[in-house]
Amino acid sequence: MSADGLERASRVAVTGASGFVGGALIKLLSTHSNFEPVAIYRTAPERLPLGCETVVCGELASDTDFTAALKGADSVVHCAARVHVMNERAADPMAAFRLANVAATHNLARQAAKCGVRRFVFISSIKVNGESTQPGQPYRADDVPMPADAYGVSKMEAEEGLRNIAAETGMDVVIIRPVLVYGPGVKANFFNMIKLLNRGVVLPFGAINNKRSLVSLYNLVDLISVCLTHPAAANQTFLVSDGQDVSTTQLLRKMAEALRCRARLLPVPSSLLVAAARLLNKKSLSQRLCGNLQVDIEKNRALLGWTPPMSIEQGFALTAEHFQGHTEK
């Protein structure tokens, strides 16, 4: 409450403001009168976001000074991270992940608590839970973590440290573990898939009967905004998805429909695809294409009253619209 008796907007510091999730969150918060976002960048951006303050704090490290961005902040959303990479070049990947995702995260959290921040929202990863699920046995937020790679381990260790900091300082910590995030401006493998579909390339993925959970960028940032203020979110961990699991084959067909093109899919058995991937030393790729990874988001509804506001069809439509508006076929 401000001195004049009016409700003061909640000041929210967001790291990774130039990233896929952080940038979308800044845009969402800027449209709400009850939030006052502060965009935190590593380096000065070419274009400043509208409707918010910006602060450049440098690279993620154990000694980065975030105090200028944290001054007066009510909450922090930590989106910045060293992300999972397909072609790792670091001599010691585990050390690189721990520096950016563990030490830097704990440094930010300790500074936040010292500055009087009441809530710290950490964008983690489903990789903390693991890489795959059995059919009909989705991951749940309170399952025992089973990370299988350096990135997943670093996110788990970051979570563990944040819980300790919360216990020591009294600052609320909220952990959100997204599955694969897609939406307007998506990059990497999802973008490559869209390009192939849009070009009419024949793909051997017409007979895959797995189940995968995805989350649209819109649904993810909506949940984050709820977790910033909801009392029941304090010191909880949440998984997030669209609530509509699809097979790889269904995903391709739905995206082709959104692109208004034909999905040219050959019905190659999953067993052959998995065998071929092993021969080519692409086991992780075959897992993403043919394996299961489902999450249960019932906890979100039960504690927060939150259900995904956007369907997967709507999410794909927005993704396709952006792609077609920014990319030549």
Residues with catalytic function = 151
- Name residue, tokens 């009087």: 116
Closest among 59, 61, 54, 62 to 23, alpha carbons compared: 54
Q: Are 43 and 106 in contact, with CB atoms under 8 Å apart?
A: no
- Secondary structure class of 22 (helix, strand, coil): helix
Backbone angles phi, psi at 182, to 5 degrees: -130, 165
Give the dihedral of Cα atoms 248, 254, 257, 263; nearest 10 deg.
10
Return the exposure string of 7-36: e unless at least 16 CB atoms fall within 10 Å of the residue's CB, then b. Answer: eeebbbbbbbbbbbbbbbbbebbeeeeebb
Give the dihedral of Cα atoms 119, 15, 59, 234; nearest 10 deg.
20
> What are the DSSP calls for 102-137, one per residue?
IIHHHHHHHHHHHTT--EEEEE--GGGT-S--BTTB
- CA pair distance 52, 48, nearest whole angstrom: 9
DSSP, res 100: I
